[in-house]
């Protein structure tokens, strides 16, 4: 991740935490989650701010990386992880089951459709790459 991207993410995370999950600018009116994950090489805990669309009680996030040619590192970290993680929603911190849904999955088109309808920038991201973006289902657990 570039220093500029790291700085942007840090600003989004700080704003999210200071305002119980409300972040303006390009995220105005959208729900975000802070997805905690552990680097599979570094072992360090990391946090990714992500636009999250609802699918029933679950949250869907997408490994679009703005249309970059490869998946963001956090997708691989979630895939290599224990199948659960911590997410921050608004002012709450929850455990969530994680499921990475790849484009070859029967449910991928439906899940990507939900997320892309919620986050219209997805259409622009698609123009930057031929790759199809993995979807991650976050299912809050008690």
Tens of pLDDT, residue by residue over 97-127, are 999 999 999 999 999 999 999 999 989 999 9
| Domain locations in the chain as residue ranges | 3-141
Using CA atoms, how far apart are residues 29 and 82, in angstroms rounded to an integer? 32
Q: What is the pLDDT of residue 2?
A: 65
50-60 mean pLDDT:
98
Give domain 3-141's CATH architecture: Roll (2.30)
Buried-state track 12-50, b at ≥16 Cβ within 10 A, e below 16:
bbebbeeeebbbeeebeeebbbbbbbbeeeeeeeebbbb
The pTM assigned to this predicted structure is: 0.93
pLDDT at 5 over 70: no
Q: What are phi and psi of 90, to 5 degrees?
A: 55, -125
């Amino acid at each position: 991740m570039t220093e500029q991207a790291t700085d942007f993410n840090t600003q989004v995370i700080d704003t999210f935490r200071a305002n119980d999950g409300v972040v303006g600018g390009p995220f105005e009116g959208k729900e975000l989650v802070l997805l905690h994950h552990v680097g599979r090489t570094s072992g360090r805990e990391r946090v990714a701010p992500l636009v999250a669309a609802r699918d029933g009680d679950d949250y869907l996030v997408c490994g679009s990386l703005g249309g970059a040619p490869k998946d963001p590192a956090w997708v691989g970290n979630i895939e290599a992880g224990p199948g659960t993680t911590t997410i921050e929603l608004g002012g709450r911190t929850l455990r969530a089951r994680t499921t990475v849904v790849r484009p070859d999955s029967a449910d991928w088109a439906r899940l990507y459709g939900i997320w892309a309808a919620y986050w219209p920038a997805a259409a622009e991201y698609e123009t930057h790459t031929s790759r199809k973006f993995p979807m991650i289902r976050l299912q809050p657990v008690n």
